[in-house]
């Protein structure tokens, strides 16, 4: 990997373990709402619908506010739960920032990137939640700027989000910038279409029909070694 001046990191499932955070927050919410249905069955359905809604959000088909409540409306309707979906959503959103789990190697890779250039976090999500999670996780010390879709007004992979990011970076140059992320459409397609190098965090080792990423990793320790080596 060549040396870059700007390292753009996705947040969820790139630096923070979104899957574990999501599961923990969901279980806490179920307990709070006094729902007696099997929590694992509930979570499996919720996770599937939530992923569909986030994909729709990235395509501009659903708003952030609708997404937050709609996932719990769908859960309630599917299982016949007698709940207030808005109250459930509010509790989940309040709980989520405190249930932070770092992915292995996150601090090391951020420190290595910070030693070589500026570090930005670019994420689709809710502004105050993402900032709070960054602070609680301990990664804030390595971060120069944060760009969240809610404040920008456009989510990844929209080119306007990436231009918004470029405006927040110091002496931004596409040639010397890389994005690291796990979502192929949002992070890799988005970065590629904006004209910057990309590093796909491929957790599951799945294939893609027409690969366009510059680099590919399975763990953050791989990326750490690549940054330290500083050459292709």
Place of tokens 């999501």: 22
Q: Using one digit for the tens of pLDDT, what is the confidence trace for 61-87?
A: 999 899 999 999 999 999 999 999 999
Average pLDDT of the residues in 45-54 = 95
- Same domain (yes/no): 26, 87: yes
How large is the C-alpha radius of gyration of the chain? 18
Confidence class of residue 188 from pLDDT cuts 50, 70 and 90? Answer: very high
Percent above pLDDT 90 for the chain: 91
Average pLDDT of the residues in 104-115 = 97
Specify the pairing of strand 177-181 against strand 6-9: parallel
Dihedrals φ, ψ of 139, to 5°? -90, -10
Q: What is the pLDDT of residue 162?
A: 99
What is the value of pTM for the model shown?
A: 0.86
- Same domain (yes/no): 193, 111: yes
Q: Is a pLDDT exceeding 50 seen at residue 194? A: yes
Query: Of 3, 4, 2, 10, nearest to 189 (Cα)?
Result: 10
Q: Is 10 a catalytic residue?
A: yes
- Same domain (yes/no): 90, 204: no
Q: Which residues form the domain of 39?
A: 18-98
Percent above pLDDT 70 for the chain: 99
Is there a domain that residue 1 lies in?
Answer: no
Q: Is a pLDDT exceeding 50 seen at residue 232? A: no
Could you give the number of structural domains in the chain? Answer: 2
Confidence class of residue 13 from pLDDT cuts 50, 70 and 90? Answer: very high
Q: Is a pLDDT exceeding 70 seen at residue 231? A: no
Q: What is the CATH number of the domain that holds 67?
A: 1.10.150.240
- Same domain (yes/no): 72, 111: no
- Same domain (yes/no): 163, 108: yes
């Amino acid at each position: 990997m060549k040396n870059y001046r700007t390292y753009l990191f996705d947040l969820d499932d790139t630096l923070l373990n979104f899957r574990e955070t999501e599961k923990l927050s969901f279980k806490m919410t179920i307990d709070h709402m006094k729902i007696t249905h099997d929590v694992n069955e509930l979570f499996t359905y919720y996770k599937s619908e939530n992923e569909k809604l986030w994909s729709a959000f990235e395509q501009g088909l659903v708003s952030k506010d609708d997404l937050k409540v709609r996932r719990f409306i769908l859960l309630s309707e599917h299982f016949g739960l007698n709940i207030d979906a808005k109250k459930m959503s509010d509790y989940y959103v309040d709980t989520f920032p405190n249930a932070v789990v770092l992915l292995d190697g996150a601090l090391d890779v951020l420190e290595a990137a910070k030693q070589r250039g500026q570090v930005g976090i670019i994420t689709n999500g809710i502004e105050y939640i993402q900032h709070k999670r960054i602070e609680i996780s301990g990664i804030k010390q390595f971060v120069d700027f944060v760009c969240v879709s809610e404040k920008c007004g456009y989510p990844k992979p929209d080119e306007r989000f990436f231009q918004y990011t470029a405006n927040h970076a110091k002496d931004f140059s596409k040639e010397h910038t890389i994005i690291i992320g796990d979502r192929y459409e949002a992070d890799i397609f988005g970065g590629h279409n904006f004209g910057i190098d990309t590093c796909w965090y491929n957790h599951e080792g799945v294939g893609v029909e027409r690969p366009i990423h510059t680099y590919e990793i399975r763990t953050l320790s791989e990326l750490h070694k690549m940054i330290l080596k500083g050459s292709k």
